[in-house]
């Protein structure tokens, strides 16, 4: 288990703030027990920030027949919908909600070339809201595998999320399981799959990024 690079500055700033607030709290007249409580709460807050940016070590043998989960979390949507931004046709949508306690790295579900990438500014509705997929701040990525099959990945900001980081760039090659982004502090990832895909997850299921098989092509 390591620390993701997106957390380096935030963790450093949090450590400095903790170093300032801890001794300052000792200057305030209050019962000793209350001082201990403040220090414990500050320590827990710092621990939570460090934990949020954890980067688990996971191995994956790429398989072009499978679509691998892009994020840790819970399946909150599983349905056939019209995808209007890129495909403009019906696809299978599988959405994974990432709580603040989940790992927030995003991985590529398939190997292939990045055919499309676009960032959209937007609202900050709660990530499980049905309209968050089309109205929230988001980034859309489309990866096409060697067989010409395209999978769309959409990173969506939530009520707490205020920054989506996307590493994918049009024309770049990615391997299944490569990091394609990071979303800070609560979010959602949507996958749009071909209608013929055999979905292997169910609504409400807990899934693990770079491990859980979402579907078979």
Strands 138-144 and 150-157, bridge-based pairing: antiparallel
DSSP helix/strand/coil, 11:
helix
| Mean pLDDT score of the chain | 86
Active site residues: 187
Q: Where are the alpha helices (DSSP H) in 53-170?
A: 132-135
C-beta atoms surrounding 104 within 10 Å: 29
DSSP helix/strand/coil, 150:
strand
DSSP3 helix / strand / coil % (the chain, rounded to 5): 20, 40, 40
59 token code pair: 């191995």
**Helical (H) or strand (E) element with 18:** helix 8-25
For residue 162, what pLDDT is reported? 59
Closest CA to 75 of 203, 197, 198, 192: 203
Under 8 Å between Cβ of 214 and 67: yes
Q: Which is it for the CA torsion 158, 106, 122, 50, positive or negative?
A: positive
Which tens digits make up the pLDDT trace of 79-122? 999 999 999 999 999 999 988 888 889 999 999 999 999 999 87
φ, ψ at 76 (rounded to 5°): -110, -10
For residue 128, what pLDDT is reported? 58
Higher per-residue confidence, 58 vs 17: 58
Which tens digits make up the pLDDT trace of 134-179? 667 889 999 999 999 999 999 998 665 557 889 999 999 999 999 9
154 token code pair: 């959409």
pLDDT bucket at 130, cuts 50 / 70 / 90: low
Is CATH 2.70.70.10 what the domain over 66-216 is classified as, yes or no?
yes
The contacts of residue 55 (CB under 8 Å, 6+ apart) are 1, 2, 3, 4, 103, 105
């Amino acid at each position: 288990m390591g620390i993701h690079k997106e957390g380096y500055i935030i963790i450093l700033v949090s450590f400095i703030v903790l170093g300032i607030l801890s001794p300052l709290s000792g200057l305030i007249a209050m019962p000793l027990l209350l001082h201990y409580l403040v220090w414990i709460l500050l320590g827990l807050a710092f621990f939570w920030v460090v934990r949020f940016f954890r980067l688990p070590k996971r191995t994956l043998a790429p398989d072009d027949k499978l679509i691998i989960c892009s994020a840790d979390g819970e399946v909150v949507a599983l349905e056939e919908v019209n995808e209007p931004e890129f495909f403009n046709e019906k696809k299978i949508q599988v959405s994974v909600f990432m709580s603040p306690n989940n790992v927030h790295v995003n991985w590529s579900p398939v190997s292939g070339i990045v055919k499309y990438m676009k960032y959209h500014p937007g609202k900050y509705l709660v990530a499980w809201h049905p309209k968050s997929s089309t109205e929230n701040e988001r980034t859309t990525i489309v990866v096409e595998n060697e067989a010409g099959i395209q999978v769309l990945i959409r990173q969506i900001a939530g009520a707490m999320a205020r920054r989506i980081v996307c590493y994918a760039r049009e024309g770049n090659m990615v391997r299944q399981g490569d990091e394609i982004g990071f979303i800070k502090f609560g979010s959602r990832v949507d996958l749009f799959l071909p209608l013929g895909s055999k979905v292997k997850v169910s609504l409400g299921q807990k899934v693990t990024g770079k491990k859980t098989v979402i579907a078979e092509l």
